[in-house]
Amino acid sequence: MNLQKSIERLDRKLWKNKKILITGGTGFFGKSLTLILESLGCPDFKIITRNKNLSGNRYLYCDLAKKNEVGAIKEEIESAQFVFILSSEFPKVSTKDISFDEFLDNIIMVKNLIDVIPISVQKIVLASSTDVYGILAYGTPVNECHGINPATYYALSKYIQEKIIEYSIKREIKYLILRYTSIYGENEPHVKFLPVLLDCIVNNKKFTVFGDASEKRDFINVEDAAIITLYLVQEGATGIFNISTGKETTIRELLRIAGKVSGREISLEYKERVKPKVDLIYDNHKLTSFIKHFQFKPLHEGIKEQYEILKAIK
């Protein structure tokens, strides 16, 4: 399904008349969300950023980890109807965790923001992660009722963010906590698996495979994730949702798809696995019962688009 057809699920009239505040709107996922809001004709959304090099009245300059700076934009926060919390410190390398200071920043910035959000806000949306489930039982699909067992500072910070948001229900503010699986697509950080793989293909470099490439993952395209997020908000969804395709793909299959869409043979080197083998498979029945008949972008289409973009800017 192409982007324009997917967007047809969204109510342009509703989004044109909402005041929206977004943290992390300049990041990988945030860029996709804001582009879709622009395509819907939404004129009134603001992006909180600490990057003062960005110009324009679209941006509010604030370091959310600093309480005094959050207080300085309190009036803008209070006037919003929807607040999307997408910003977060995340691992810069897939094999490493965030630092303890980054862990604290993830918690503090959400707490500072929640402290000034009034009950007039219609919905708070938190971008969380399926990482909160931790190390999973082999091959077991995980639904939203699965136990929480964060295995990293990053995962623990996301879970604490969730608990801070859940506290807001005591103040009669509705919330959505969205646990995203592996999001891929245009503008994806280069440290992630797919852009590293595609860069190796484009530049004829060796790609390192750890283990036998049989582990399973669930990849969702960034445009699908953004559209689903907006759809859940407009339809009044509340609570916690796994945002995933519900379809498992092995790393071996991912390598095959990348080779096929690029038309190139991938130069591979195999090394012993650094971490224990884990299959990350998520049950998305709660999501698909809410957003019925959604056609996720096929993985081969998404990877081809991403490859063509990287090839064009080589």
Other Cβ atoms within 10 Å of 92 Cβ, number: 12
Domain ranges of the chain: 15-312
For 293, the token pair is 């008949």
Q: Do strands 239-243 and 123-129 pair parallel, antiparallel, or not at all (unpaired)?
A: unpaired
| Cα-Cα-Cα-Cα dihedral sign, residues 296, 299, 302, 306 | positive
Token pair 């759809």 in the structure block, residue:
231
CA distance 261 to 270: 22
Q: What angle do CA 26, 148, 145 make, to 5 degrees?
A: 95
CA distance 285 to 97: 30
Residue 161: phi and psi, rounded to 5, are -55, -45
Token pair 């919390």 in the structure block, residue:
85
Beta bridge partners of 124: 83, 175
Asked if 192 and 181 count as a contact pair (C-beta separation under 8 A), the reply is no
Q: What angle do CA 247, 250, 256 make, to 5 degrees?
A: 110
Token pair 């992660």 in the structure block, residue:
129
Helices then strands, each counted (H, E), the chain: 12, 13
| Cα-Cα-Cα-Cα dihedral sign, residues 31, 36, 38, 42 | negative
Which pLDDT belongs to residue 2?
57
CA distance 127 to 33: 12
Residue stretches of the chain with pLDDT short of 70: 1-5, 94, 137-139, 169-171, 314
The tens digit of pLDDT for each residue in 199-217 reads 999 999 999 999 999 999 9
CA distance 243 to 246: 9
DSSP, collapsed to helix, strand or coil, labels residue 72 as helix
Complete DSSP assignment for 165-230 = HHHGGGGT--EEEEEE-EEESTT--TTSHHHHHHHHHHTT--EEEETTS--EE-EEEHHHHHHHHH
Q: Do strands 59-61 and 20-23 pair parallel, antiparallel, or not at all (unpaired)?
A: unpaired
CA distance 290 to 232: 8
Which pLDDT belongs to residue 1?
45
Which pLDDT belongs to residue 115?
93
Chain centre to alpha carbon of residue 298: 18
- What count of residues does the chain have? 314
Q: Give the chain's radius of gyration (CA, Å).
A: 19
CB burial readout 11-34, b (16+ within 10 A) else e? eeeebeebbbbbbbbbbbbbbbbb
Which pLDDT belongs to residue 313?
84
- What is the value of pTM for the model shown? 0.94
CATH number of 15-312: 3.40.50.720
Which pLDDT belongs to residue 255?
97
